[in-house]
Chain A
Amino acid sequence: MTDLVTTDGVPGAREADVDKPVRRSRRMTGPQVVGHARATAAVCQAAGCLSAQSDQVFEEITAQLIADGVTDVAVKRVGCLGLCAAGPLVEVPETGELFRQVSPDDVSDLVTRLKDAKPVETKPALEPFFSRQHRVVLENCGKVDPENIDDYVSRKGYRGLTRAVTELTPQQVIDEISKSGLRGRGGAGYPTGLKWATVAKQPSGEKYVVCNADEGDPGAFMDRSVLESDPYRVLEGMAIAAYAVGASHGYVYCRAEYPLAVQRLKAAIHRAEKAGYLGAAIAQSTFKFTVELRLGAGAFVCGEETALIASIQGGRGTPVPRPPFPAASGLRGKPTLINNVESFASVPVILREGGEAYAQVGVGKSRGTKVFALAGRIVNGGLIEVPLGIKLRDVIFDIGGGVPDGRKFKAVQTGGPSGGCIPEDLLDMSVDYESLLAAGSFMGSGGMIVMDDTSCMVDVARYFMDFCREESCGKCVPCRVGTTELHMMLTKITEGRATLADLVQLESVAAMVRDTSLCGLGQGAPNPVFSTLRYFRDEYLAHIVDHVCPAGVCALSGGESVA
């Protein structure tokens, strides 16, 4: 078989160019296409669809097309197509069709369709899941082959970096980012331009750029999807940042739970070096920047920036008090810029289209778009990107398609273990950093877990406390002991052994943990308790006074128990 894949006239990547660090054995190319492809089957190869054998779907379609002698249909591996709950997904971009739940055992319908598929002028109207989205970070997601750098370049990839290093001074790059209004997409929302300026201001010498890909929040998979679907974008963003702050070496700290993302990143780093977008003389300039990949080993606290630095240096991931902030003294005591995957992935567009264009979208101090991972009791679970300022109701009911099985919506949890639950009567709020904080939740990295009336809110609070208790690094007492105490009290409530005095104590200990912990893990840990107490106090009271779990989740010892 040939080693050329050609789609949409894109010059194919020579597979032979790519060597050692990546296992090549499982990668099979599509059928040989003569001239322009009339249609393309874009088969999702992100982790969600892969777990439903989308790799076999790819091979099966290819085999059948080859067997039937078809030469004008391309088969292409792409990143996440978004609607993960309906995987494996295959899209035919020329006709705008999306095939769901394609079984590797039966691709004949799809192959028949591909044989007579013709590009159409007007594509069928998109369903709200797609039409309500605004894709900036995910513009290539599901469009490019994540392992093919030429494909990325053909979709305006590396134009931002080239513009930065050949036309702009580092200060102008920072100004462009400041104008865009981009804020940290890891959740805290610190202005990215300001952070870059702080690092750039440090005396010159060794500086580092670190990409935080330790997406630890349970229920969040945005960064994983971006890394698996469009890894070059993240590397481009890091290179632009390095140019702006004066760094020549960078690290991507990725959690080991994402083997596919790690594999694709490794391949991407290697190929970007070969193509001259990493390493020495980037874009024929004097700017040089290298990137190294570092693996986590399963510790949530390593998402905290000082803990992350400790972990990159090979130690236990325990945070240290700030200041000094990593911007002044970070990795090996040098000024270090740390941004998360999505922040870096937003940068290439800002440099390519300009900061002002990026800031067109958004509301108030929250500009641009945000990627969310929709999951839980929702019809269209998957990966979405929406303009900041969209109504929460639109996200859950228009894009997400609401709650399945005719159940009643109860709450949506955002912000992971440091976030909170937002009840139905607040659904008309705008999704932005300030509004979420005012509602007692938190933007967080972008996980949105929808719950219906089968979820018990006390149990949810207990679940997150259990998480924080296990993940507490143990360095400071309020977090180490406090989260254990809080977990015990919440367990007592869910088992129906608590009294009203326990509720009072729960609130006072929670406040203590929030106010006195060293890092964000402890400070945020009581948040799920506060938010569920604020909106669902009646459920706590039902457990304590009536010994009943309204959702039927908790097994209470006293009174009637359902589970």
Chain B
Amino acid sequence: MLRLGHRPDALIEVLHTVQQSFGYLDDDALRYVSTSLHVPLSKAYGVATFYSLFTLRPQGEHTCVVCTGTACHIKGSTMILNRIRSRFGIGPKQTTADNQISLLTARCLGACSIAPAVVYDGEAKGKQAPDDVIARLEEW
């Protein structure tokens, strides 16, 4: 926040930093950010809920992001999501009951020529078959 000079227009950058540090944005964090940047809490909350990369809930130990861009869609990302649902019982934006795996979807990671793409804990992998994904998630 210091780096960005407590400017109200730095709200999105600051929220990124907070989320990187704590994993998600809880009420205390939002209150603190809104006071520090002199923006209304309603605006901080509005921005945090408007953008899909911000999350207000804690994530599981591991995150799996399945790309659902056009190229991945026609190459079977829906099948991957269906398999994950039947194996682990979670859909997009959900976390398994043991808090191990959070499933997320992304609207195109720009890795279209190696579709379908999946990101495991920040590590992107291309040309993933449903079996690859399940095998990888079972390791977690």
Contact = CB atoms under 8 A, between A and B. Distances in A.
B13 A295 contact: yes
Interface string B12-23: 110110000000
Interface stretch (A346-354, A361-369, A376-384, A513-521): A376-384
Interface string A81-108: 0001101000000000000000000000
A375 B71 contact: yes
B107 A85 contact: no
Contacts of A316: 46-47, 50-51
A294 interface: yes
Contact of B69 (A218, A382, A383): A218
B116 to A, nearest CB: 11
A478 B46 CA distance: 22
A47 B113 contact: no
A157 interface: no
A51 B125 contact: yes
A218 B16 contact: no
A215 interface: yes
Interface stretch (B3-11, B56-64, B95-103, B131-139): B3-11
A298 B52 contact: yes
Report which residue of B10, B53, B74 has the largest number of chain A beta carbons within 10 angstroms of its beta carbon: B74
Contacts of A84: 113-114
Contacts of B9: 312-314
Interface in A172-221: 215-221
A460 B70 CA distance: 8
Contacts of B75: 376-377
A527 interface: no
A148 B35 CA distance: 41
Interface in A215-258: 215-221, 224-225, 256-258
A51 B54 CA distance: 24
Contact of A314 (B47, B52, B126): B47
A299 B50 CA distance: 8
Interface stretch (A137-145, A447-455, A487-495): A447-455
A58 to B, nearest CB: 17
B114 A48 contact: yes
Interface in B105-140: 106-115, 117, 123-126
A219 B70 contact: yes
Interface in A17-56: 47-48, 50-52
A52 B113 contact: no
Interface in A298-315: 298-300, 311-315
B85 interface: no
Contacts of B51: 296-299, 316-317
A311 B52 CA distance: 13
Report which residue of B9, B15, B39 has the largest number of chain A beta carbons within 10 angstroms of its beta carbon: B9
A256 B73 contact: no
B87 interface: no
Contacts of A287: none
Contacts of A375: 70-71, 112-113, 115
Interface string B24-48: 0000000000000001000100110
A39 B31 CA distance: 58
A257 B113 contact: no
Given A311-B12, A449-B70, A449-B71, A381 B107 contact: no
A374 interface: yes
A59 interface: no
B111 A451 contact: no
Report which residue of A258, A294, A298 has the largest number of chain B beta carbons within 10 angstroms of its beta carbon: A298
A381 B112 contact: yes
Contacts of B114: 48, 51-52, 84-85, 87, 381
Contacts of A296: 12, 51
B109 A314 contact: no
Interface string A313-342: 111110000000000000000000000000
Contact of A413 (B70, B106, B108): B70
A454 B110 CA distance: 22
A376 B110 CA distance: 12
Contact of B12 (A258, A314, A455): A314
B108 A218 contact: yes
Nearest to B124: A51
A373 interface: yes
Nearest to B123: A51
A47 B16 contact: no
9 A-B pairs with least C-beta separation: A381-B113, A297-B51, A375-B112, A219-B70, A221-B110, A218-B69, A314-B11, A84-B113, A298-B53
30 contacts: A47-B110, A48-B113, A48-B114, A51-B124, A51-B125, A219-B69, A219-B70, A220-B110, A220-B112, A221-B108, A221-B112, A221-B113, A224-B110, A225-B110, A257-B109, A294-B12, A295-B13, A298-B53, A298-B106, A314-B10, A314-B13, A316-B46, A374-B113, A375-B71, A375-B112, A376-B75, A383-B113, A413-B70, A463-B73, A473-B50
Given A50-B124, A257-B110, A297-B16, 15 more contacts: A48-B111, A215-B110, A218-B107, A219-B108, A225-B110, A294-B12, A295-B12, A295-B13, A295-B16, A297-B54, A311-B12, A377-B74, A381-B71, A381-B113, A447-B70
Interface of B: 7-13, 15-16, 39, 43, 46-47, 50-54, 68-71, 73-75, 106-115, 117, 123-126
